Structure 1
Amino acid sequence: MKKALILLVTVLALANCNSRQQLNQNVVTTDITNFWDAYDHITSTKDSILQYKYLDSLYFQKGTVGLEGIRQARNYTPEDYINAINSYPKFWKSIRENTLQVSNVGAELELGIEKLKAIYPELKPAKIYFTIGAFRTGGTTIDSLVLIGSEISLADSSTETSEFPENFSYLKSHFATNPKKHLVFLNVHEYVHTQQNPRVFNILSLTLYEGVAEFVASKALDKASPNPQIAFGKENAKRIREVYETEMFYPNNLYKWLDGNAPNEFGMRDLGYYVGYQICENYYNQADDKSNAIKTMIELDYTNESEVEEFIKKSNYFSESLDILYQNFENKRPYLVGIKQFNNKSRNVSPEIKEITVTFSEPLNGHNTGVDFGDLGQDAFPKNDIKGRYWSDGNTAWTIPVELEPNKDYQIFISNNFRTQESIPLKPYLIEFRTGNK
């Protein structure tokens, strides 16, 4: 009997050892130790040439595919790293110990992934890479790689931020939420992204993509999202929906809702996470088969418009159908009324004309403009002086100087980058005409 017990203990010990080895294969932290080796060398000298040499040889060249991935995903340059290291010594000193302890959270991460697999049995394997970046992401993904920016995700309320510039204010508020405490939630959120289909880059698709990951992580871990956008969104649900219903169609408005600091009336960034979360929660609550609802969310095909529309329809989140909301948006858009010097598509425009003035249906913001080539390409775009372009009083017209040649076809595409004071984009308009003889 004693021998049997000894054998059982031995088997269990080997099983635990194998489990830890498997975990070590799935959670990779070597980039962190490499970073601090490079950091110590970089900060030991003021010679910039040596600093870049140490960064490359001790960090980049020794880096994992995870480090390569996060640099690619966030366009990190060597200059970004050297500037960050030299500019914030107090920050780096305060964050160092947190990052070096990351290997201790492996068991928690594994448990979180197991909980995700329990509600989504089709879960495919992915690797988690803890790297150190230069303040552009706490976590992102590329294919089956979860890429954690440890300088953000392992911060806490005691992390030193006094050196940060004004445009880092969002990091100060984020660190106050103690992101290190919510590391497992972040990893499960990012792990969900490795299971999803590719996004379509419009605001609604990106909102759903993030909302799915946030909602599924919350269900898997059976805990409320720690991200303040979710609670704030629920407290301001009606107004957020009203604004989103219009602004989701704006072509240049992404950073008011996701991954940016563009100002909005709520004073809270990344509210697209809440909108996506709420759509998913509504969809889940109406579904009879909850397991299939999770599967549908994760496997949503963003390139299939009818599938996305059906998902949105069942969520019953918006006040109207997407078609009606889009038509409401179109009805609000300013448009180009006409051209002062000639009628559009004229075939005998004087080549002596020195400027072209377009008039709008209402005043625009007097700042944003946008012209491009038409289908005929660059050769059909008039020669012009960028410095000579100007707005009318009241911003109801805009003028571009031109140099025209006789007997030639021309095109000027007036883009939707023109917009009102409320950022409603102009309906695009193609100016096309042919000049006559001199």
Structure 2
Amino acid sequence: MKNIYSIVLLVITILGCNHKTDRLSQNIITSDIDNFWNAYDRIKATKDTIQQIKILKSLFLDKASEGQKKMIQARNYSHKEYVNVINDFPKFWTSIRGNTLKAKTIDKELSIGIDKLKSIYPQVKPAKIYFTIGALRSNGTTMDSSVLIGTELAFADKQIPTEEFPEYLSHLRNYFDTEPSENLVFLNIHEYIHTQQKTTIGNNLLAQTVLEGVAEFIAEKALNTGSPNPQIQFGKENDAKIKSKFELEMFSPNVYNWIWNSTNNEFGMRDLAYYVGYRICENYYNNQEDKQIAIEQMIQLDYNKESELIEFVEKSNYFSKPLKSYKAAFENKRPSVVSLGEIKNGSSNVKTNMETLTINFSEPMDTRFRNFQLGPLGEENVIRIKIFIGFSEDGKSVSFNIEELEPSKKYQIIVGSGFRNRQGIPLIPYLIEFNTTSKVKS
């Protein structure tokens, strides 16, 4: 009788495990991988680029899962970009093909990883995991409640060749050397945590840094393993230098010196915001008595609510001064718009025959960057740039020709923070606004 009971219990356990695996498998979508390789084989059989795009569309894009569509949207991949990377990097694609097909075999590992996350954060909401194929610009991201894995990068290893790659992809050699295919569960759990957060887009560098740090640190805790990402170990070895540099920029609306950047910086390491965010979270966690609540607070933090973010970061005791002092110092260093060349901002009688607009800055600007945005009234009232004339020789002004103005109309445009001075500090956004006269130009 005891043996029969044991057998029945074993069968129930096995069925329960299978049911659990089947349920997870329904939330893991790999169909885009087969669709891509079917399209790839047909594309490689012709040299006609127009025909290649048609094949890509009919065999891959038209059959795309919701996750593949979201990956394309998230990274703004184009038909042409896909065809270009297929044609330009044949050694890479031949080498990575077998690796991407392994996506169909890791559902049990992912199930274990998600269960471990649930053990430290029981409020986990379900998310779908899509194994997609992109054009070499993302190993993983999220959108809404979807984890989007770029298998052409995430499944790479040291053996994948990169000699075909141009300079803008040179960072992939270092990434492949970290054997990302061995760390797929960590990557997925990192991205899975992002689906639990209030947002994945921070409105300044500090917000983006913390939300990435939360995913990195909690993935470590859930899986009881160290982060495989080289930024973390590098950061631990260079903490003081990284921190002092980060303090100068933490309230910047521009993140590209710290996230999604290249290794062409003073540290020779990309994405160091991951380390800074990781250290903030590590300190915060260590300073809290109730670790369960600490994890909940990290994931549920409103990263774009500045008062809440500052309170969280200051409780970590990672920075030596109050964060408001760093913000004040940053704002004091920002360049500004001081005047317009042809009119006074806010004028109510601008002539409709004005053709050129000049913006004068408080200091020389980096002439490689510019940024204009819609004003509060939107596209209908925007000042439309006809020809961008360029910066003055000293970099303290910029001019552009504008399209014909209508009478009796309010016009707006925002000179955005994409403008920056020669030290890389972003401009204080400035709203240009005026009304035209009722008289038509003579």
Measured against the shorter chain, the TM-score band is: 0.7 to 0.9
Q: Cα gap change, 1:334/1:130 in structure 2, threshold over 3 Å: closer, same or farther? A: closer
Q: Cα gap change, 1:115/1:57 in structure 2, threshold over 3 Å: closer, same or farther? A: same
- What is the DSSP-based 3-state SS (H/G/I as helix, E as strand, rest coil) of the residue aligned with 1:14? helix
Q: Per-residue displacement from partner, 1:341-395 (whole Å, max 9, x unpaired)?
A: 8987789999999987766544333444556787799999999984655514x44
Q: Which moved more, 1:424-433 or 1:74-83?
A: 424-433
Q: Is the 8 A contact 1:256 1:262 kept in 2?
A: no
State yes or no: 1:297 paired with 2:267: no
Q: Is the 8 A contact 1:389 1:401 kept in 2?
A: no
Q: Is the 8 A contact 1:74 1:137 kept in 2?
A: yes
Residue type matched to 1:106 in 2?
A: D
State yes or no: 1:283 paired with 2:284: yes
Q: Cα gap change, 1:359/1:289 in structure 2, threshold over 3 Å: closer, same or farther? A: same
Supply the distance in 2 between the matched residues of 1:17 and 1:33 (Cα, whole angstroms).
25
Q: Is the 8 A contact 1:256 1:263 kept in 2?
A: no
Q: Cα gap change, 1:321/1:35 in structure 2, threshold over 3 Å: closer, same or farther? A: same
Q: Is the 8 A contact 2:141 2:191 kept in 1?
A: yes
**For residue 18 of structure 2, what is the aligned residue in structure 1?**
17
Q: Per-residue displacement from partner, 1:179-238 (whole Å, max 9, x unpaired)?
A: 001111001101101111124432222111111100100111111111111111122212
**For residue 310 of structure 1, what is the aligned residue in structure 2?**
311
**For residue 250 of structure 1, what is the aligned residue in structure 2?**
252
Query: What is the Cα deviation at residue 127 of structure 1?
Result: 1.9
Q: Larger Rg: 1 or 2?
A: 1
- What is the DSSP-based 3-state SS (H/G/I as helix, E as strand, rest coil) of the residue aligned with 1:101? helix
Q: Is the 8 A contact 2:209 2:276 kept in 1?
A: yes
User: Which ranges in structure 2 are unaligned for 5 or more consecutive residues?
Assistant: none
Q: Per-residue displacement from partner, 1:244-290 (whole Å, max 9, x unpaired)?
A: 22223333x32221123384321211111111111111110110111
**For residue 214 of structure 1, what is the aligned residue in structure 2?**
216
State yes or no: 1:422 paired with 2:402: no
Supply the distance in 1 between the matched residues of 2:353 and 2:50 (Cα, whole angstroms).
57
Supply the distance in 2 between the matched residues of 1:340 and 1:69 (Cα, whole angstroms).
44
Residue type matched to 2:219 in 1?
A: A
Query: What is the Cα deviation at residue 316 of structure 1?
Result: 1.7
TM-score computed with the length of structure 2 as normaliser: 0.84
Output aligned runs, 1:98-113, within 5 Å.
98-113=99-114
Supply the distance in 1 between the matched residues of 2:318 and 2:74 (Cα, whole angstroms).
32
Residue type matched to 1:224 in 2?
A: G
Supply the distance in 2 between the matched residues of 1:92 and 1:131 (Cα, whole angstroms).
14
State yes or no: 1:322 paired with 2:320: no
**For residue 272 of structure 1, what is the aligned residue in structure 2?**
273
Q: Cα gap change, 1:324/1:111 in structure 2, threshold over 3 Å: closer, same or farther? A: same
Aligned residues: 436
Output aligned runs, 1:198-213, within 5 Å.
198=199, 199-213=201-215
Supply the distance in 1 between the matched residues of 2:127 and 2:372 (Cα, whole angstroms).
44
Q: Per-residue displacement from partner, 1:53-95 (whole Å, max 9, x unpaired)?
A: 4323332333322222212222222222222222222111111
Q: Is the 8 A contact 1:69 1:142 kept in 2?
A: yes
Query: What is the Cα deviation at residue 310 of structure 1?
Result: 1.4
User: Which ranges in structure 1 are unaligned for 5 or more consecutive residues?
Assistant: none
Supply the distance in 2 between the matched residues of 1:89 and 1:6 (Cα, whole angstroms).
53
**For residue 142 of structure 2, what is the aligned residue in structure 1?**
141
Output aligned runs, 1:315-354, within 5 Å.
315-336=316-337
- What is the DSSP-based 3-state SS (H/G/I as helix, E as strand, rest coil) of the residue aligned with 1:130? strand
Residue type matched to 2:237 in 1?
A: E
Supply the distance in 1 between the matched residues of 2:326 and 2:350 (Cα, whole angstroms).
40
Q: Is the 8 A contact 1:95 1:155 kept in 2?
A: yes
Supply the distance in 1 between the matched residues of 2:372 and 2:9 (Cα, whole angstroms).
75
Q: Cα gap change, 1:171/1:404 in structure 2, threshold over 3 Å: closer, same or farther? A: closer
Q: Is the 8 A contact 2:21 2:111 kept in 1?
A: no
- What is the DSSP-based 3-state SS (H/G/I as helix, E as strand, rest coil) of the residue aligned with 1:317? coil
**For residue 34 of structure 2, what is the aligned residue in structure 1?**
33
Query: What is the Cα deviation at residue 111 of structure 1?
Result: 1.1
- What is the DSSP-based 3-state SS (H/G/I as helix, E as strand, rest coil) of the residue aligned with 1:79? helix
- What is the DSSP-based 3-state SS (H/G/I as helix, E as strand, rest coil) of the residue aligned with 2:248? helix
**For residue 43 of structure 2, what is the aligned residue in structure 1?**
42
**For residue 229 of structure 1, what is the aligned residue in structure 2?**
231
Residue type matched to 1:203 in 2?
A: L
Supply the distance in 2 between the matched residues of 1:57 and 1:351 (Cα, whole angstroms).
50
Q: Is the 8 A contact 2:388 2:399 kept in 1?
A: no
